[in-house]
Amino acid sequence: MSAQIIDGKAFAAALRGRIATKVAALRDAGGRAPGLAVVLVGEDPASAVYVRNKHKATIAAGMASFEYRLPADTEQDELLTLVASLNADPAVDGILVQLPLPPQIDADTVLMAIDPDKDVDGFHPVNAGRLATGLPGFVPCTPYGCVMLLKDQLGDLAGLDAVVIGRSNIVGKPMAQLLIAESCTVTVAHSKTRDLPGIVHRADIVVAAVGRPEMIKGEWIKPGAVVIDVGINRTDDGLIGDVDFNGAASVASAITPVPGGVGPMTIACLLRNTLISASRRQGVALDLAEL
């Protein structure tokens, strides 16, 4: 193995520490603690774990955590009523409705009902549009965490060839937008892409977000590339990424492990967005460069 292993867990812990310091400063200045509302519908076990971890991290950062657990048979209108009350609640700076939602609920309808200025997931079409046009808004947490790790590793990303594998609204598309904003040359590959190995092989930066265990092979990676593995695939062998880790680690200059790479960055960036929201809503300036 030649690649450096990118320690997302340590990076995220340090980021959460900086956020906690800013929260304390906001309160010292007479401000209100940032408030994050998380809504879980049903009992999907993976979602329950995420929601519990979000709650713990929110409290640890000195923020207020409002948790709503609704039964799996909740009607869409009931959820929309809850979202409307959270939109109107001045103590709530961020609203997150955990996905996936049960089949009787249309996720797009619910996400569009969230006030875009409390949409700390960055999933509302208004925030997707803001990201695409370079306006301030909320950026989805997982891709933003990936960019933080990449900039920490590489410094300026301008001019680098980046390949994003996956075109989801949650990771692939916002990831591509963020890399464009960093002046990378961006290719978005997906299930219909021809010659994926050839496309991956020309990339200085590879971001894998397909949800298929070890689909990206080590021999596809250009020597010296930085590999960011967003995949979290639950298999009989435990959590496995989208990248053949051992193969890729023998040629890449740096790679994120699964677990302990991108995963911990998501919650840290969610807290970052919640702090940004609270500072905007309370009219307190925040030096984002320090976050």
Applying CB under 6 A, the residues found at the interface with ligand GUN are: 96-99, 121, 141-142, 266
At 236, phi and psi to the nearest 5? -60, -25
Q: How far is the CB of 96 from ligand GUN (least distance, A)?
A: 5
Rank residues 213 and 263 by Cβ distance to ligand GUN and give the closer one: 263
Rank residues 96 and 243 by Cβ distance to ligand GUN and give the closer one: 96
Rank residues 3 and 97 by Cβ distance to ligand GUN and give the closer one: 97
Q: How far is the CB of 54 from ligand GUN (least distance, A)?
A: 9
Clarify whether 121 is annotated catalytic.
yes
Clarify whether 282 is annotated catalytic.
no
Which one of 98, 118, 222, 229 is the catalytic residue? 98
Rank residues 70 and 284 by Cβ distance to ligand GUN and give the closer one: 70
Which one of 119, 121, 204, 229 is the catalytic residue? 121
- Long-range interactions of 116-121: CB distance < 8 A, separation 24+: 117/277, 117/280, 117/281, 118/86, 118/87, 118/92, 118/93, 118/94, 118/277, 119/94, 119/95, 120/36, 120/93, 120/94, 120/95, 120/96, 120/270, 120/273, 120/274, 120/277, 121/96, 121/97, 121/270, 121/273
| Token pair in block for residue 150 | 């990449």
Compute the half-sphere exposure of residue 180: CA atoms within 13 Å on the CB side of its CA.
13
- Contact (Cβ atoms closer than 8 angstroms) between residue 23 and residue 35: no
Cα–Cα nearest to 139, from 149, 150, 130:
130
Q: Closest residue to ligand GUN, Cβ-based?
A: 99
Q: How far is the CB of 120 from ligand GUN (least distance, A)?
A: 9
Which one of 22, 54, 173, 222 is the catalytic residue? 54
Clarify whether 177 is annotated catalytic.
no
Q: How far is the CB of 215 from ligand GUN (least distance, A)?
A: 19
Query: Which residues are known catalytic residues?
Result: 54, 98, 121
